[in-house]
Structure 1
């Protein structure tokens, strides 16, 4: 992923173009065409990353949710459950599996609206569950559990008990929700100074589930040190 200037971004009703990469609805699938180069710390050589990812929703949810009273930040879980097909040419990788598709949009930077948040999503025998909680920039807190039926329609449900998780290697505090008040970190995929994404084993609404969980610390993100470090991990194209 490369940070790019506004002139490198365009969109219409079905397509989003970001530099040489683009995201486009084709029939019942979202097709992501990737034309990028990776970034390895302290290594100036950037390998090509090229291929396609197809996201095929099992159902679409039309409703979005405001995360703050002024509606500066909107979250939309478009496909609580989906199938994905990955076909990369460089590196040569192909696989398929289950997935999820959401997006956030807003009228101010995330670091202005939030201090921290914790999010998790689990596929259930029927539908999916998303738990979302955190602390806003003004110090107020929010927490909700949303259960999506097989038809993708959301229904706010009782919030399961809080379950603390071990901090990430970078010291990011992690938290989730589980019926037994306990969850196990099976593996951590992303561990950065301000963000961690992990796979959990827990229990929700009577079912043993595998969850994808993320914790974000926007105070860390906004710190001068992290802002200085970011271009070393994410290339930044100025023009």
Structure 2
């Protein structure tokens, strides 16, 4: 998110593209044949790109992850993301340039999201600085960011009905909330604070606080001090089953704006959802690195 709060960017690298209809239709048997670097920019001139690519587009090593024309690689203590993607309908156009993420510190936190460990959240670097340099007017800026990962051996919709997640920067580190309802009715209500040195510890979570439903009527909740009403500052991604936005809240007396996500996996399970997604998530099975296409 930019320092002035008017622009933001998200990048998600997938092996086994969990929100891809093509991966679901394949039976999820071969995750390396459904890879993607999803990028979205939020603010004036924002774009969205999410191409499901085949095995031919994937290259990976200890230092680099490449999918077709885009890649993530470590350069010393910085994660450099080089992008060259095509925007999805209805806002076609190139998403091209570089994003550099510099972690303040790395953590060793691992949070199992199911009792059997089939789903795990890893907040590698909740506090980062970010430098964005994209080939578009107004898309050269600096701000704060984060770097995390989710791992799973089953489909998300097989185990979860819904979840909300939030990452909020504070004067002394970053606080993350993970609230979810599993399909068996059990719940997750995790609150983790990570200081500037990467030390993480569970903290008492402020009370749950409702946000207005998204444009697609996705239910949203976050955490806030008692009596404080959180609000959306910047709309980001609004999909039939998923909403991402910048949200202002108050945590233990400190007002902060961070990134919030809400996911309705009961809706995502519906068979009519996959054809809708295919309009925004094209499939491109082949790739030739020498030709660059």
Cα offsets for 1:15-56 (capped at 9, x unmatched): 111111111011010011111111123x7xx42221111000
After TM superposition, the structure 1 stretch with the greater mean CA deviation from structure 2, 209-218 or 180-189, is 180-189
* Correspondences of 1:59-208 after superposition (within 5 Å): 59-89=105-135, 93-181=139-227, 182-208=229-255
Cα offsets for 1:154-202 (capped at 9, x unmatched): 1001111010111001010000000125211223211110101112221
Q: Distance in 2 between matches of 1:162 and 1:63?
A: 23
Q: Distance in 1 between matches of 2:282 and 2:54?
A: 12
**Any conservation in 1 of the 2:237–2:244 contact (CA below 8 Å)?**
yes
Q: For the structure 1 residues 225 and 178, does the alpha-carbon distance in structure 2 shift closer, same or farther, using more than 3 Å as the test?
A: same
Q: 1:49 aligns with which of 95, 110, 113?
A: 95
Asked whether 1:30 is paired with 2:76, we answer no
Alignment gaps of 5+ in structure 2: 1-49, 287-293
Q: Distance in 2 between matches of 1:218 and 1:118?
A: 11
Moved over 6 A (4+): none
TM-score (norm 2): 0.77
Aligned residue in 1 for 2:274: 227
Deviation of 1:90 (Å) = 5.1
Alignment gaps of 5+ in structure 1: none
TM-score (norm 1): 0.94
Aligned residue in 1 for 2:59: 10
Deviation of 1:91 (Å) = 6.4
Count of residue pairs brought into register by the alignment: 236
**Any conservation in 1 of the 2:56–2:285 contact (CA below 8 Å)?**
no
Deviation of 1:145 (Å) = 0.5
**Any conservation in 2 of the 1:81–1:99 contact (CA below 8 Å)?**
yes
Q: Distance in 2 between matches of 1:157 and 1:8?
A: 42
Q: Distance in 2 between matches of 1:70 and 1:171?
A: 32
